[in-house]
Amino acid sequence: MFIEASSKSELNESLEINEQTLKGIFSNCYDIVFRRIQIFGQINALLIYMDGLVDTIALDQILLKPWMLGFPSIKLNDTDKVDAILEQQLVAVSKTATARNIDTIVQGILTANVVILAERAANAIIADLKGFEHRAVEEPSNEITLRGPREGFTENLNINTSMVRRKLQSPKLKMESVTLGSLSRTTVVIGYLEGIANQSVVEKVRKRIGEIQIDTVLGGNFIEEFIEDHPFTFFPQIQNTERPDIVAAYLAERKVAIFVDGSPFVLIAPCTLWNAFQSADDYYERFLYATMIRWLRMILIIGSLFMPSMYVAITTFHPQLLPANFLLSITSAREGVPFPAVIEAFLMEFLFEGLREAGIRLPRPTGSAISIVGALVIGQAAVEAGIVSAPMVIVVSITGIASLITPRYSMGIAFRMLRFPMLLFSGMFGLYGITMATLLLHIHLTNLESFGVPYLSPISPLSKEELKDVLIRAPRWSMHSLPLSGSKRHKRRFPRGQQPGTQGDDAQ
């Protein structure tokens, strides 16, 4: 359904004129229902709503049945305040509003409300009777935890904000609403904790979202690309999640959440590089185990970036770094391969990425099977045909598995894409090229910011208090300061001195 323009005039005293005006606006819109009734047999009225987006059962029981079959306690013909009586006494709906402007009335209909027009009424009544179908709350498919909550966001904005409200039952939690999209009229909500959130970040988010001019907003990425600091970088500067507990935790850590109606993913700002190594399970398991798993995650993710390029650099330019037996094994395996190691690595990486993408896009029952069988069959056939060597297949396979360990899919994409320029540098200059590329990458990361927060913080610039949740996951009773303080003086989350065993038990 597409509406080119709507009248900017106000309601007329005649119900027929108002009906013709709105029918002209909604011409060729089969799903807009115009329902004529008489309220208690005394006054003509018109109900306008969008079929499929309104709870018709509630509409019948709350409005139509009482008005058409009931007996009035007041004579509507004896008063000129028909709209006031309708809103205050006869419309038994919790959320109502009055409107006189035609544009406001049209928008009320398009946002799944019921508009009530009555003869001689100065205003229209907009009643909230939304009742469209939506997906039930389910376990997130991309962020699975072993001990955490099993609920994830849905496409319904009200359900998403209510799940966060249930976890943060404080009046400090503010939810500011803004409408974006000249055609989609999508509701976007900015959530933050007043007095706790970084005020400069809140202002930047509010300002950047308010400046967006776009026709349609169908998901979080439609907003993300307008408000990020550095659009031409592989690294995401805004995190997304489908878990309410993660949103609540980040709000308590002075960050800002952005909810988009119709999207099960909530945007979190600001974002740093270290979010790539943090998982929800880190905070539901014991801190010693969480620290060990976090280090394992870091080693594998960083290894996935350097492993193919290190193999190419050493085998091509620096074979003297390998033990003699190991070098002989690799040399014999590569005997007969027609391509240099760097070309071989590019071919295998390209093929692996293609198989991974095919596994995602194909139907779920066949996607994983085809990707696994494809990798096995093509890899074995390529080795037997002498096109690639077995060590290269092993290196690319280990790299692909290691790249999947990151809990943040968007951050994992950045490391996957960076493998290709790293391979190019290693194929041209060997270990010196890897060193050069790593130095350029460090310079790039140092210059990145996310809503004014350095991308490598709290390591660069260094903040010792915030390191308790970066390279390690310190005990919860020791993380008593809020992050992102921006100064040496940190805000307290809870009092010190709660370490077990420091106070002792009461004497028996």
Task: Note whether 174 and 118 are same-domain residues.
Answer: no
Residue ending a domain, choose from 420, 454, 488: 454
Query: pTM of this prediction?
Result: 0.87
Q: Does residue 1 form part of some domain?
A: no
Beta bridge partners of 176: 190
Q: Does residue 27 form part of some domain?
A: yes
**Residue 508, pLDDT score:** 44
How would you class 491 by CB atoms within 10 Å of its CB: exposed for 0-12, middle for 13-18, buried for 19 or more? middle
Task: Note whether 323 and 405 are same-domain residues.
Answer: yes
Domain that holds residue 334: 283-454
Residue of higher predicted confidence among 134 and 454:
454
Instruction: Please give the Cα distance from 35 to 380 (Å, whole number).
Output: 68
Q: Does residue 428 form part of some domain?
A: yes
pLDDT, tens only, 429-483: 999 999 999 999 999 999 999 999 999 988 988 888 788 888 888 888 888 777 7
Task: Note whether 252 and 287 are same-domain residues.
Answer: no
Task: Note whether 171 and 225 are same-domain residues.
Answer: yes
Task: Note whether 254 and 287 are same-domain residues.
Answer: no
Residue 258 backbone phi and psi in degrees, to 5: -125, 110
Instruction: Please give the Cα distance from 366 to 433 (Å, whole number).
Output: 41
Task: Note whether 27 and 165 are same-domain residues.
Answer: no
Q: Which of 123, 114, 11 shows the shortest CA–CA distance to 67?
A: 114
Task: Note whether 190 and 69 are same-domain residues.
Answer: no
Task: Note whether 219 and 314 are same-domain residues.
Answer: no
Instruction: Please give the Cα distance from 176 to 188 (Å, whole number).
Output: 8
Tokens of 337: 């391969």
**Residue 4: pLDDT above 50?**
no
Task: Note whether 316 and 234 are same-domain residues.
Answer: no
Place of tokens 């980040």: 250
How many domains does the structure of the chain reveal? 3
**Residue 507, pLDDT score:** 43
Task: Note whether 259 and 290 are same-domain residues.
Answer: no
Q: Does residue 60 form part of some domain?
A: yes
Measured CA angle at 476 (ends 473, 481), to 5 deg:
95
Task: Note whether 330 and 388 are same-domain residues.
Answer: yes
Task: Note whether 65 and 163 are same-domain residues.
Answer: no
Tokens of 393: 């297949």
pLDDT, tens only, 322-341: 899 988 988 888 888 888 99
Q: Does residue 443 form part of some domain?
A: yes
Is the peptide bond between 308 and the residue preceding it cis, with omega within 30 degrees of 0?
A: no
pLDDT, tens only, 275-295: 888 888 899 999 999 999 999
Q: Does residue 464 form part of some domain?
A: no
pLDDT, tens only, 189-244: 999 999 999 899 999 999 999 999 999 999 999 999 999 999 999 999 999 999 99
Q: Does residue 41 form part of some domain?
A: yes
Residue ending a domain, choose from 127, 145, 166: 127
